[in-house]
Amino acid sequence: MNKYEIGDLVTAPTISSFSAFGTGSYAVGSNLTVTFSGATDRSGVALNTVVSKSEVDKMFKFNPSSVRLGNNYQGMWIDDSNFVIQVLDITGASAPVVGQTTVTALASGLIRGKPFSELPTTSTSSVLTGSFTGTI
């Protein structure tokens, strides 16, 4: 028996913002934050647990498709609505561009609303805001 009742279903949250933060130009240590419109189930990942590049890639894609964050990055849910991606290796990167790049939550990432949405979110953000120069 499911622990949720029909009345417990919520609408899957959407991506409400996509922001950049860094210490100069796009580089190792740059952060990208994906913020959702409401609480998510964090794709079943515990808060403050680091997930690998392959897990990030299951959850999100960047648009246009030419955007590559680099050879290595990781992510972490810092609360139920915010996922932070940290760049670890920019080799091979085609950096995201503030004012142009968007992010899409992929169904394969299984990010659902909390307490429960039947379908995972597949929303796309507005364009990347903030900067890689240390100010948001």
Q: What is the pLDDT of residues 43-72, one digit of tens each?
A: 999 999 999 999 999 999 999 999 999 999
- Which neighbouring-strand residues pair with 36? 15
Using only the alpha carbons of the chain, give its radius of gyration. 15
Q: Judging by beta carbons within 10 Å of its beta carbon (0-12, 13-18, 19+), is residue 74 exposed, middle or buried?
A: middle
Q: pLDDT tens digits for 64-120?
A: 999 999 999 999 999 999 999 999 999 999 999 999 999 999 999 999 888 776 788
- Residue 58's H or E segment, with its range, is helix 53-59
- Which neighbouring-strand residues pair with 116? 9
- Residue 88's H or E segment, with its range, is strand 82-89
Return the pLDDT at 6. Answer: 52
pTM given for the model: 0.89
Q: pLDDT tens digits for 29-40?
A: 999 999 999 999
Across residues 4-19, what is the average pLDDT? 76
Q: Band of the pLDDT at 5, cuts 50, 70, 90?
A: low
Return the pLDDT at 136. Answer: 40
> Contact, 95 vs 26, CB < 8 A?
yes
